[in-house]
Amino acid sequence: MTLAIRPSSRAQSAGAVLSGLLSLGAIGAAARAEEVPAMPRSLAEAVRMERADALPRTAFYDTPSLAGSKAGDLLRKEKFTGYAIPRGATAMRILYHSLSADGADVATSGVVLIPPGEPPSGGWPVIAWAHGTSGVARMCAPSLEKDMEYGEEGLMPMVRAGFAVVATDYHGLGTQGPHEYINKTAQARDVIYSVPAAHAAVPSLGRRWVVIGHSQGGITAWSVAEKILFSSGKM
């Protein structure tokens, strides 16, 4: 797993990274055992669990006209109650304008997970989540799974710890068009542009955010840090 932060200065960046790591170190201990599903005991049981976890892909994921919008713009949103998320938390699906590795306009889907209760002063602290390998077809989007692929193994504990999570699918997963697998530029853009889209969908989000990634998303997180560093903080 990789963690990077959008910095405002070197000193603030170091302090925020340390704070984020300390917070995440306590997340696992806060998980409730009754919300963690049992592991499958056979291949047949694993297949049954996978099928039971799948969600139907709806017209929400179809690409609308991108004319008149720019990267980072929210295209569509919908509240969704079909995810296995912590009690009291809410989920908002988003479809937003992003860019491919070569700069072409694309639509990307994702989910914003909001903790239960009232946001703190300044809004919910935000984690932009970059997921690991889930496949390369439209049906492989984490937002098309009830547990969003990771469930209690790193994703939902963040929400339970009081972080809003902006979880992109990456374009081509859920949405139409090819998925640019392990293309750090394509995936970094999907993460970066998911943040302003999430703010448009959920105004209670705070302005500062970190990115955390696993596997394919680990490469993505490093790329997000590179792009923000070399663009002087501009997205």
Instruction: Indicate if the pLDDT at residue 200 is higher than 70.
Output: yes
In a domain, 43, yes or no: no
Range(s) of the domain holding residue 108: 2-29+71-230
Determine whether 17 is exposed, middle or buried from the number of CB atoms within 10 Å of its CB (0-12, 13-18, 19+). middle
In a domain, 37, yes or no: no
pLDDT tens figures, 64-120: 999 999 999 999 999 999 999 999 999 999 999 999 999 999 999 999 999 999 999
The mean per-residue pLDDT over the stretch 33-58 comes to 83
- Write the DSSP assignment of 141-158 as a string of letters: -GGGBTTTTTTTTTTHHH
In a domain, 59, yes or no: no
In a domain, 140, yes or no: yes
The DSSP output letter for 115 is -
Question: Does residue 156 contact residue 126 with C-beta atoms inside 8 Å?
Answer: no
In a domain, 173, yes or no: yes
CATH number, domain with residue 125:
3.40.50.1820
Question: Does residue 143 contact residue 109 with C-beta atoms inside 8 Å?
Answer: yes
In a domain, 35, yes or no: no
d(CA 42, CA 203): 44
Domain count along the chain: 1
Enclosing H/E stretch for 29: helix 27-30
- For residue 48, give the 3-state DSSP assignment: helix
In a domain, 185, yes or no: yes
d(CA 119, CA 170): 27
In a domain, 224, yes or no: yes
